[in-house]
Chain A
Amino acid sequence: MMKQIWNITHYELLHVFKDPILFIIVFITPIFYAGLFGTVYFSSILSNIPLAVVDQDNSTLSRDLRLAFANDHSFKIVPGADSYEAMETGMKDGTVRAGIVIPRDFEQSVKQGTSAQILSVYDASNLIWGFNSRKFIQEVINNFASHYTAEKLAGAGYTEHEIENVMNSVECNVTAWYNPNYSYANYIFMGLMMLVVHQIGLLGVCLAVTREKERNSWLQYIASSIPAWKISLGKCLPYLIANFFNYALLLWVSSRLVHIKIEGNILLMACLGLLYVSTITFAGYIVSIYSSNSLQATRYLMLLSVPLLMLSGYSWPRGYIPDILNSLALLFPSSWMLIGFRMVSIKNASWELLWPTLIALALMAVLTLYLALNFRKERKPENKHSLMVNSGLSYPRKINMLGALRQQLRASRF
């Protein structure tokens, strides 16, 4: 029994190894994308944001404030961008991404105890620049204000201990959980990797049947006495193993080489991965069975990645996505996997929290497995009017549907 499955698997494996492009897609592309995206997000935190400081006061206090920004690694003061006009020009051409305008009466206002207004501007045309600049400016201003108070209290004769008591009588301890450095790589990288697994998994297996159809060898499978489930299992097995291997490899590369935070229960991650790649592999196989040719299957599947990522709630939070789209997202394994994987790897979630994800992925895996193993072994009549590819005969010609129907009816009468 197993020999037939093994023979088909062996035959499919030969195809993968003999077709250099397919080999690259299945084995090289995942690692290539991991390396490429890993390099892109390697720094993971924005630093040295080009900052313009427009000091209209030019006082001791304003220079201290300028120094506070100069000493903060998050900012890099752009030389020459010291007037409002220069800041405006810099913001427009991208040489400046944030700016601080210290007003003329800054020191005087502070000494008089009246409120001194500082203008902070940031380039919100890219919200990653915008949000980070806003946060870093707040941090620098908070630190500056604390230092100012500490110095004043010291000047008034307070000891270090007394200063500590006054300033920290209520200590507000702000703690960022799960991703303490606000690393962008920890946030987005594994989402991209899960989509790489998704895309590569689909693109490999989606040719398993279409290739045979184009070579007219699918007929041999259909005509043979081998049951459908054995054919499917034999054809899917190499891709299933390769996809799981890629999943494990990407986790290893992400953790060890790109230094992405991957914690949590390994067994849980393995279970999630197994269910995810099984669903993808069998879904891709079903697409392959029902696609007329390789080109059509490839074209449609290639466009899935961006919409699936956005729909999953992985980047833009689910609470801000309309309910109908959230319900739609639940139909895709990527939505469950992306959120589930983040919960395990970043938040160290346990089996108790992950059981809905595991059940949903298991149901999808079983459903796709059932559909893949129980395809109908019948040859679809060749559609002579569809696009021929891979050195096929011709482009489609205009068809007379009515004429074709008449011909069919006439033929059936005889």
Chain B
Amino acid sequence: MFKTNLMIMRRELGYMWRDRGLRNILLLGPLLGILLFAAIYSAQTITNIPTAIVDLDRSASSRDMAGKMENAPNLKVVSYLQSYEELEESIQQGIIVVGVLIPENFGRDVALHRHTRVLLIIDASNTIFATNASTAVLGVTRTLSAEIGVRTLLAQGMDPIKAKNMYVSLDLKEEGWFNPTLNYAYFLVLALALNIWQQCCSIAASINIIGETGVKSWLQIKAAGFSKIQLFVSKSIIHITVFMVMALLIYFIAFGIFKIPLACKLSTLLLFTLVFTVALHSIGTLMSSIAGNAVDSTRFSMMVALPSFVLSGYTWPIEAMPGFLQPVVWVIPQTWFFQGFNYLSFKNPGWQFMASYFWALIAFALICYSLATVITAWKER
């Protein structure tokens, strides 16, 4: 019996290799994915946000103000423009993300402690830029208003110590936990590559049953008296092994070459990936038992695989989704995987916390394989 299993496995491996399209997708898809995403996110963090200053006053005070903006963390003053219209145009074209407009008579008004207004414009059409720019600008404005306020009070004749005490001197120390440099590459590159990998695996798994029952050689297989369970289990073992080899390659590139940090042990992550691979393969198998042909089976699998990354809450948090949708997104195994992957790669919360993720994926696999078995048996009756 074991020999038969080995023969089926060898046959399946041969079929997978000789199917050029599938071979390209499985071998090249995830590898190209990780290389492409690593290149895209090679800058890693958002710093040097392009900033322009329109200084309509050109006084010592306005230059001082511009200097403060130049020293602000994460902002980079790339140009000094002549007018508001130029600033507006630059922001609309996307050349500038932060614009500072210092009005005429700024220096005189500051000296006379008259009310004056500095306009700080942030292009919020890209929220990644905008939230970073906004944080940088808020830090500058807090310090600036305190400084000018104290100066105003001093000018009104207040005692220097008393004037200083009027302003609460808060030093906000920030710590980004688990990803202290707020590195986008650490956050997204591997996750996006795994998203491509799971899509490729879904494509391959979706011909598990229909790839046999949908071709005429199925009659020969049936006539040969193979057990269907034996056939599909052997095929599945090869599929899962190939998927895991690809995952290993991705992890090697991510952790070995790109040095993406990993909080948990690699063995734990591999075990978690293996359990997910089985669950993913079970969905493909289920689709391949339902569909009437390989193209439809691929389409069914991809209907789950394509939107799954958005639904998984890896980027936009599940907690921010509407209440009724929150339990629904946990119905797809990709949500369990990407959430669990985030915990393992950044936090390593321990077995007790992760156990539910493992069991959920195992439950998915059991349900989908059972359903696929029942459907195939029913169709073949």
Contact = CB atoms under 8 A, between A and B. Distances in A.
B33 A307 contact: yes
Interface stretch (B35-43, B224-232, B248-256): B35-43
B192 interface: yes
B169 interface: yes
Contacts of A13: none
B92 A349 contact: yes
B257 interface: no
Interface string A305-320: 1110011000111011
Interface in B1-32: 14-15, 18-22, 25, 29, 32
Interface string B285-317: 000000001111011001100110111001111
A240 to B, nearest CB: 21
Interface string A277-316: 0000000000000000011101110110111001100011
A342 B171 contact: no
Contacts of B379: none
A172 B36 contact: no
Contact of B40 (A167, A311, A395): A311
Contacts of A303: 25, 29, 196, 199-200, 203
Nearest to B119: A173
A171 B118 contact: yes
Contacts, number: 359
A134 B124 contact: no
A366 interface: no
Interface stretch (A106-114, A231-239, A248-256): A106-114
Interface in A267-281: none
B295 A389 contact: yes
A178 B128 contact: no
Interface stretch (B213-221, B271-279, B364-372): B213-221
B21 A296 contact: yes
Interface string B343-354: 101110100010
B142 A145 contact: yes
Nearest to A119: B173
A391 B153 CA distance: 86
Give 4 closest A-B pairs by Cβ, nearest first. A124-B176, A125-B346, A124-B179, A320-B43
Given A111-B165, A152-B165, A166-B149, 15 more contacts: A93-B349, A124-B178, A126-B314, A128-B316, A130-B176, A149-B168, A174-B120, A175-B119, A177-B125, A300-B21, A306-B199, A317-B126, A321-B43, A342-B125, A387-B22
26 contacts: A36-B311, A48-B319, A91-B347, A117-B172, A122-B177, A130-B179, A137-B172, A145-B170, A149-B166, A169-B114, A169-B116, A170-B145, A174-B122, A174-B137, A176-B121, A179-B125, A302-B306, A306-B309, A307-B33, A322-B40, A347-B125, A388-B215, A389-B214, A391-B216, A395-B19, A396-B15
Interface of A: 21, 25, 29, 33, 36-37, 39-43, 46-48, 50, 91-94, 110-111, 113-132, 134-135, 137-139, 141-142, 144-146, 148-149, 152-153, 156, 165-180, 182-184, 186-188, 192, 199, 203, 207, 294-296, 298-300, 302-303, 305-307, 310-311, 315-317, 319-322, 325, 339, 342-343, 346-347, 349, 353, 386-396, 398
Interface of B: 14-15, 18-22, 25, 29, 32-33, 36-37, 39-43, 46, 50, 91-94, 109-110, 113-132, 134-135, 137-142, 144-146, 148-149, 152-153, 156, 161-162, 164-180, 182, 184, 187, 192, 195-196, 199-200, 203, 211, 214-217, 293-296, 298-299, 302-303, 306-307, 309-311, 314-317, 319-322, 325, 342-343, 345-347, 349, 353
